[in-house]
Amino acid sequence: MAGALLFGLCDAAQLRLQGTETQIPYEVFLALPYVVTLLALVVRARRSGTPSALAVPFVRGPT
């Protein structure tokens, strides 16, 4: 839910920023919500507690 709120706020901000007189191309403002979402995913992925044995092949001991 927080991600949807963040995306919605960035989308509203980019609409507001497009109306201002700046030297920045409007395409930058169009990409703003997507860039912020990608950054949030990267930050979230770095903080994730993945298992230490992830992607380590399992070798069965002697049977």
Comparing CA positions, the residue from 2, 5, 32, 1 lying closest to residue 17 is 32
**Mean pLDDT to the nearest integer, 27-44:** 88
Specify the pLDDT at position 4: 85
Q: What is the mean pLDDT of the chain?
A: 85
Domain that includes residue 6, residue range: 2-46
Residue 24 lies in a domain: yes
Tell me the whole-structure pTM to 2 decimals: 0.62
Residue 60 lies in a domain: no
The domain tally of the chain equals 1
Residue 34 lies in a domain: yes
Q: What percent of the chain has pLDDT over 90?
A: 3
Cα–Cα distance between 17 and 33 in angstroms, integer? 12
Residue 61 lies in a domain: no
Return the amino acid letter for 51: P
